[in-house]
Structure 1
């Protein structure tokens, strides 16, 4: 009878070790997925904040440059695209369009010295710079979380468990057109 208990205890010990490993691995996947979701939420908050600043900026610039309708339409379209983006891929396309639109509106503003001296315009500029910095920080935090999650999913033996547990790799928030953002919008007057 003694010979029966030793193999049984070994098998039960192995099953317990495997069970604990699966439990810890699942919880770490959940933790990383929640971190990525939180980071995405931070990005959307900052993109919404920037989108909320744009109507005020447009109205301020319109007061000085009412004939620049195509620029205002481009900014409005980019704003709508940013707000309707669903996920990193769409957001990265919208981000490229937004950067291009912001460059256009600030290029128009450069032609109007009175606008550049406007306290309202300067305040909106400052808020936009702050928001852009927060968007960049949120993007880095999101991509860091995605990197951690994707690395954990790809590592052996985690890769054997990730898909059956319902975890898949996430997309990085990468800008589609790097040239569009290689130079930040000129907002120093």
Structure 2
């Protein structure tokens, strides 16, 4: 019997300790892993919201450009810049590229709207003013979506840097995510004002 007891002490007790440690580790780390999955899904959801709002604004642009061209067809530079920005937005492969293309688009649209100051008939055109107001609303919705996305990224990134989240992040490949950065200078165009929020997390 003593031999059997010695074997149990030699093998089963260490195995029991290992199993116990594993269970404790699972109880500690499993909820954190699940939290990372949820945070990652939230970031993805908010990114989709930005894309949706950008698409809604994009649907307004052709009509806006056509309206302005009817009064100022020679303003080719700004029309080209808008077309280039639309192309970059559609080809953006990540959030950083999307943010850069969006900044270019916002700048180009601001300059497009500024053209109306030189064309009183355009400025008074009901279709133009209606599209301008819709565009301002679209910019506001983009700003809200951007803020919500950056808030989600901030929470996600904070968890990748703090214990025990940093361990889980390293083990399962949860890397920090990019903020959707807005370039305030792209809005600094005289005579044009988008009533959007400028204070984002991560800017």
TM class by smaller structure: 0.7 to 0.9
Answer yes or no: is the 8 Å Cα contact 1:43–1:139 preserved in 2. yes
Q: Which position in structure 2 is the counterpart of 1:138?
A: 145
- When residues 185 and 142 of structure 1 are mapped into structure 2, their CA distance, relative to the original with a 3 A threshold, is farther
1:24 to 31, 37, 46: 31
Q: Distance in 2 between matches of 1:171 and 1:136?
A: 16
- When residues 39 and 185 of structure 1 are mapped into structure 2, their CA distance, relative to the original with a 3 A threshold, is farther
Q: Distance in 1 between matches of 2:146 and 2:190?
A: 15
Q: Distance in 2 between matches of 1:77 and 1:90?
A: 13
Matched, 1:37 2:44: yes
Q: Which position in structure 2 is the counterpart of 1:181?
A: 187
Which structure exhibits the higher relative contact order, with contacts defined as CA atoms closer than 8 Å and separated by 6 or more residues?
Answer: 1
- Measured after TM superposition, the shift of residue 23 of structure 1 is 1.4
Q: Deviations over 1:154-174 (max 9, x none)?
A: 101221121221211101111
Q: Which runs of 5+ in 1 are unaligned?
A: none
Answer yes or no: is the 8 Å Cα contact 1:54–1:79 preserved in 2. no
Q: Distance in 1 between matches of 2:163 and 2:191?
A: 44
Matched, 1:121 2:128: yes
- When residues 167 and 103 of structure 1 are mapped into structure 2, their CA distance, relative to the original with a 3 A threshold, is same
- Measured after TM superposition, the shift of residue 117 of structure 1 is 1.6
Q: Which position in structure 1 is the counterpart of 2:108?
A: 101
> What RMSD in Å do the two structures reach over aligned CA positions?
2.4
Q: Deviations over 1:113-172 (max 9, x none)?
A: 121121211111111011100110011011001000100011012211212212111011
Q: Which position in structure 2 is the counterpart of 1:65?
A: 72
Answer yes or no: is the 8 Å Cα contact 1:143–1:172 preserved in 2. yes
Q: Deviations over 1:68-127 (max 9, x none)?
A: 122211111112222222222112211221122012111211111121121211111111
Aligned length: 186
Answer yes or no: is the 8 Å Cα contact 2:103–2:186 preserved in 1. yes
- When residues 183 and 69 of structure 1 are mapped into structure 2, their CA distance, relative to the original with a 3 A threshold, is closer
Matched, 1:159 2:166: yes
What TM-score do you get using the length of structure 2 for normalisation?
A: 0.82
Q: Distance in 2 between matches of 1:173 and 1:187?
A: 21
Matched, 1:74 2:81: yes
Q: Deviations over 1:2-55 (max 9, x none)?
A: x96998776544432211222111110000000000011111111111122111
Alignment of 1:39-54 (within 5 A): 39-54=46-61
Q: Which runs of 5+ in 2 are unaligned?
A: 195-203
